[in-house]
A and B are shown apart, each in its own frame.
Chain A
Amino acid sequence: KAGVTQTPRYLIKTRGQQVTLSCSPISGHRSVSWYQQTPGQGLQFLFEYFSETQRNKGNFPGRFSGRQFSNSRSEMNVSTLELGDSALYLCASSLGQAQPNYNEQFFGPGTRLTVL
């Protein structure tokens, strides 16, 4: 069974631009969560989607948005990029059901975003 895939793996953007990251979950998984990893803050939860609906949201500004498609693939968008948005963005998938099953949550390798 293929794992969670994220594209692109690396991305360089400049301040003010916008970016879209993609995540394809494991086949059959309906929950996709997004996290931002920075050296000082560790992993911070961005949002979680289940069956095309945002089910939970972290404490990030509205510049960070996401969506999920009917095939469970998810995209994350960041508008008006700032230097501080430079980070590793990870997505994770799980079966979902009532809430994400964190024991069975599988992470992708991440997208490394650099904002210049």
Chain B
Amino acid sequence: DQQVKQNSPSLSVQEGRISILNCDYTNSMFDYFLWYKKYPAEGPTFLISISSIKDKNEDGRFTVFLNKSAKHLSLHIVPSQPGDSAVYFCAATGDKLIFGTGTLLAVQP
């Protein structure tokens, strides 16, 4: 039973355009959401997070939006850069950290 879902296994965008990565969850008890980025042969690194009491959090080129009624969050990257090419995982916390299956983002120069 996948409580956190990333339905797009891959996404390709042009450099300079917006990348939008989506994530859906099923457990309404989740109270904190995070995005991680993972390069090959490295562990995931924390990118940005959002509390369930907020609907938006921004950090430079990265913005996370949370829609609690739809149980949906998204990560916007503007503008996208080739160095952003990586696998992006969303995650949610209740009593433990639950990850999605990841989306491979490819930013084309």
Instruction: Kindly state the interface size class of chain B when it binds its partner.
Output: 20 to 34
Tell me which of A48, A90, A106 contacts B96 (CB under 8 A): A48
**A86-110 CB contact bits vs B (8 Å, 1 = yes)?**
0000101000000010111111111
Assess whether B45 is in contact with A41, with CB atoms less than 8 Å apart: no
Assess whether A109 is in contact with B44, with CB atoms less than 8 Å apart: no
Tell me which of B6, B42, B49, B101 contacts A102 (CB under 8 A): B49
Shortest A34–chain B CB gap in Å is 11
Whether A58 touches B44, Cβ cut-off 8 Å, given contacts A42-B101, A103-B34, is: no
Nearest neighbor of B45 in chain A, beta-carbon distance: A107
Nearest neighbor of B90 in chain A, beta-carbon distance: A42
| Interface residues of B, Cβ cutoff 8 Å to A | 6, 32, 34, 41-46, 49, 89, 91, 93, 95-102
CB-defined A-B contacts under 8 Å, sample of 12: A35-B99, A41-B101, A42-B6, A42-B101, A56-B96, A92-B43, A100-B97, A102-B46, A102-B93, A104-B46, A106-B45, A107-B45
